[in-house]
Amino acid sequence: MSDLIAAESTFLWEPSGGATKLLLVDDDEHNLLALEAALEGIADELVSVRSGEDALRELLNGDFAAILLDVKMPGMDGFETAELIRSRQRSRGIPILFLTAYRSEAHLFRGYDLGAVDFLFKPIVPEILRSKVSAFVEMARSADMLRQQAATLARAEERFRMLLEAAPDAMLIAREDGTIILVNSRTEELFLSSRKDLLGKNLRELIPEWTRAGQATGIEMRAVSGAFREFPAEVTSSPLRTDDGVLVIVVIRDVTERRMIEDKIRQLNFDLEQRVTTRTAELVRSNGALREFAWAASHDLQEPLRGIVVYSQLLERSSDSLQNDQKELLKHIIDGGRRMDRLLRSLRQYMQVADTKGHQPLSTSSADSFTLAIQHLQPLISSTSATIEVGNLPKIVAVPVLLTQVFQNLLANALKHRGEAAPLIQVSADREGDFWTFSLKDNGIGINPRYHERIFGVFKRLNHSMEGTGIGLAICKSAVEHWGGRIWVESQLGRGSTFYFSARAADQ
């Protein structure tokens, strides 16, 4: 509001737009000329007329700062003219100065009665005339200025009111104690009350939580509208220091809709989370069921398989009457059975690693695990005349039994997939930040890069002429990921392979 007035106020003190005019009335042309000469430059315009009738006619055309009126005129005299001037609404306020040669008291009283503000006695003294008339000219100018200021103020107030009325929020002005002194139409709508009822009420009747005329920005409060409706409102208030004391401007926004949308979003989020939780639980259940099924199936298949293999062997040995080709057929049955036996075993082994609930990662000596793996593989190492070079191996966060398994599987792979030359396997560990990265580099047949991802899957054998079940690397991946590490390979066909896996260092 104050800004609006300030913007207007730059125009307030400019000179009046309307010209100040003086009306000179005298039947004697000489007198008129003398008056005009004496008043030269005092007003913007001097209008001279020779009779009361002419004066009244001029007064219809415009405002005058003052009228100099000769008393003694033929026809309508000065007093009669003044009476008519006073009787007209439009000219009632214009100051009249009588020009007269008579100084009788009766004469003066009649003049003052008719609204004269002063008398000028003939012969006119130009200095006195000028000073008296200029006072009225100044008064007229001030009055004009005041009128314009009032108009400007009225315009500013009108704009303020329009703005206030058009505002989408309830806007109120209250005294420091909360007494409401101004509201806009949105306030009426929001609080289902007329302006008349709202003015004079206390803000606390609308917003019970409102406490004082302090600064607040978008505080959410409960608003009470009538006896039956309460709604959430966002209240912004700021104090306004005026000459009449502290006022507070309060803006109240109904946030019912926003709150409803927020609630809806919250509800939707909650539902979504519920569904995710339910779905996850279902997945965990079905995963568990699948695991149990796979375990049971692999276990139950083992029994009849054992029968097939062992009884084929019994048959093979029990009779000398078997033909050679029959023995050959039996051998195929037995080989097939043994391969299936290995598959079932490694599948169970993989599931045991995957089911790692019992294996909390802890500080583990990778050197110890490595030594154990070497011991398990000693027969294969000897039979392949392999050389294994190993650097310093650190303490890491892992599961000891799984780490041994990882080393064992990676070493066994390197030994199995050897090239022409005797296997050479170089094992080392490098620190990178909080992690150690182990590398096992071999001089074997290498792996085509297009298979580098696939080999870590279950039952992914690339070379079917090799023995093995294709589950060793899947076990490694499962194990390494269990302690938060990563496993990958870098290799080219014919140029050996380097397997890497990582684990968190145990010293931090």
Partner 1 sequence: MTGSAAPTLVVVEDNASDVYLLKYTLKELQLDCNLVVYRDVPEALHSLDQQTPPVGVILDLNLPSGDGFQLLSFIRESGPIKDVPIAVVTSSESPVDKERCHAMGATYYLHKPTDLDEFVTIIGDVMKSILHGSLT
The contact set with partner 1 (CB under 8 A) reads: 299, 302-303, 305-307, 309-311, 313-314, 317, 337-338, 341, 345, 348
Please say which residue, 279 or 306, places its beta carbon nearer to partner 1. 306
Query: With respect to partner 1, which residue has the nearer C-beta, 139 or 308?
Result: 308
d(CA 444, CA 424): 8
Q: What element of type H or E holds 138?
A: helix 126-166
Is the Cβ of residue 239 or residue 336 nearer to partner 1 in the bound state? Answer: 336
Cβ proximity to partner 1: between 337 and 472 the closer is 337
Tell me how far, at minimum, the Cβ of 459 lies from partner 1, in Å: 19
Smallest distance, partner 1 to C-beta of residue 305, A: 7
Give Cα separations from 330 to 69, 384, 464, 467 (angstroms). 151, 30, 22, 20
* Closer residue to partner 1 (CB): 307 or 457: 307
Q: How far is the CB of 284 from partner 1 (least distance, A)?
A: 22
Other beta carbons within 10 angstroms of residue 113's beta carbon come to: 12
Smaller CB distance to partner 1: residue 46 or 315?
315
What is the chain's alpha carbon radius of gyration, rounded to the nearest angstrom? 55
Smallest distance, partner 1 to C-beta of residue 399, A = 15
Which H, E and C letters describe 251-285, residue by residue?
EEEECHHHHHHHHHHHHHHHHHHHHHHHHHHHHHH
Identify which of residues 295 and 435 has a Cβ nearer to partner 1 in the complex.
Answer: 295
Task: Give yes or no for a contact between 78 and 52, defined as CB atoms under 8 angstroms apart.
Answer: yes
Please check whether residue 140 is in contact with residue 133, taking contact to mean a CB–CB distance below 8 angstroms.
no
CA distance 206 to 202: 7
Assign 461 to helix, strand or coil: coil
Give 178-234 as a 3 state SS string: CEEEEECHHHHHHHCCCHHHHCCCEHHHHCCCCCCCCCEEEEEEEEEECCCEEEEEE
Least distance (Å) between residue 316 CB and partner 1: 9
- Identify which of residues 343 and 506 has a Cβ nearer to partner 1 in the complex: 343
Name the residue nearer to partner 1 (CB basis): 229 or 299.
299
Is the link from the previous residue into 123 a cis peptide, with omega within 30 of 0?
yes
Residue 479 beta carbon to partner 1: minimum distance, rounded to whole angstroms: 17
- Identity of residue 289: A
Give the C-alpha separation, 104 to 119, whole Å. 12
Minimum distance from CB of 474 to partner 1 (Å)?
A: 18
Of 202 and 302, the one with the shorter C-beta distance to partner 1 is 302
Q: What's the rounded Cα separation, in Å, for the pair 247 and 270? A: 44
Coil/strand/helix, residue 40: coil
Spatial neighbors of 115 by CB under 8 A, at least 6 apart, are 82, 85, 86, 92, 96
CB of 436 to partner 1, least distance (A): 29
Q: How far is the CB of 320 from partner 1 (least distance, A)?
A: 17
- What's the CA dihedral at 383, 491, 405, 439 to 10 degrees? 100
Side chain identity at 405, as an amino acid letter?
A: Q
Minimal distance in Å, beta carbon 437 to partner 1? 31
